[in-house]
Amino acid sequence: MISSRAWLRHYSANNVMRILQQCPNARDVRAFGAWLNAGRPVCKGERGIRILAPMRYRAEDEESEPEREDGCRRYEVRGFTVTTVFDVSQTEGGPAPEPDGVVPQELRGLAPDQLWDQVAAMVTTRGYTVEHGDCGEAYGYVHYPTRTVRVRGDVDPAQAVKTLTHELAHILCEHSTREGLSRQRAEVEAESVACVVGSVMGLETLDYSVPYVAGWADDSDVAHAAAARVMAVADQITAHLIEHAEQAAA
């Protein structure tokens, strides 16, 4: 599920689970009409993937409300309905599009350009200092009293930026202030976020992250409870990184 989030970023955590249960190798999932618009019709005889979609209705008091400044109508969700989508493997036609324009890269010790700087910027804008140094047996840590994030200085750039993302996730998931949070749950969330962000940005971390998460999430309830928060925080980070990458390329 963590790996697939790189390709299925427009779906909720529960729908990602539904998609992977029905199509374990799903990569790019869209509605029938969306595939037609992309020039890749669904192959005859393919069985769709069933997910839940919100039923949106115009708000009942919309007529009496003054026009919104952004010109958008206000809608409310009154339930959910089952809808059908299809994976790219169930389509045919022209070249398959790469979702979100992101192509995973093979990890060879280096991190994607500017990834460290942008993740570090997200840390420092939240009032923390980033430094390299001895971390004992860990690759990194957050010291909340001094608002310091430390990463080992003797690791390759890929490991360093993955660790920095892990520590940023601890901050964004509010692990220092959430009541009743176990260390087990905190580590599952932080490493899962780092893995999702790494996959989206072209940094393969599964060989490290999956055993790490499995070591902490010794029951499925912990992993499932963490999933929604993991996806939300990972999307927050990747949205910032992708926006910066697009601006740099413009």
Q: Tell which wins on pLDDT, 123 or 249.
A: 123
Give yes or no for residue 108 having a pLDDT over 50.
no
Instruction: Output b/e per residue, 5-25; b: 16+ Cβ within 10 A.
Output: bbbbbebbbebbbbbbeebee
Placement of tokens 């996959």 in the chain = 199
Residue 228 located in a structural domain: yes
What is the predicted pLDDT for the residue at 185?
A: 87
What is the predicted pLDDT for the residue at 199?
A: 82
Q: Is the pTM of this model over 0.95?
A: no
Residue 109 located in a structural domain: no
What's the pLDDT tens digit per position in 5-38? Answer: 666 767 876 788 888 889 988 888 999 999 998 8
User: Where in the sequence is the domain holding 198, given as residue range(s)?
Assistant: 115-249
Q: Based on the structure, what is the number of domains in the chain?
A: 2
74 and 146 inside one domain: no
What is the predicted pLDDT for the residue at 247?
A: 85
Q: How confident is the model at residue 55 (pLDDT cuts 50, 70, 90)?
A: confident
84 and 134 inside one domain: no
What is the predicted pLDDT for the residue at 165?
A: 96
Residue 31 located in a structural domain: yes
- Sign of the torsion formed by the C-alpha atoms of 145, 149, 154 and 160: positive
Residue 77 located in a structural domain: yes
67 and 181 inside one domain: no
Residue 106 located in a structural domain: no
Residue 109: count of CB within 10 angstroms of its CB: 9
Give yes or no for residue 126 having a pLDDT over 90.
yes
Residue ending a domain, choose from 101, 127, 146 = 101
What span, in angstroms and rounded, lies between the C-alpha atoms of 130 and 167? 10
Mean pLDDT of 72-91: 82
Residue 110 located in a structural domain: no
Give yes or no for residue 70 having a pLDDT over 60.
no
Residues pairing with 30 in the sheet: 86
Residue 108 located in a structural domain: no
94 and 120 inside one domain: no
139 and 89 inside one domain: no
Residue ending a domain, choose from 101, 124, 148 = 101
36 and 156 inside one domain: no
What span, in angstroms and rounded, lies between the C-alpha atoms of 3 and 206? 8
Residue ending a domain, choose from 101, 133, 148 = 101
31 and 147 inside one domain: no
96 and 183 inside one domain: no
In sequence order, which ranges of the chain are alpha helices (DSSP H)?
13-22, 32-37, 115-124, 157-172, 183-200, 206-216, 220-249
46 and 142 inside one domain: no
66 and 148 inside one domain: no
Residue 224 located in a structural domain: yes
What's the pLDDT tens digit per position in 225-239? Answer: 778 889 899 999 999
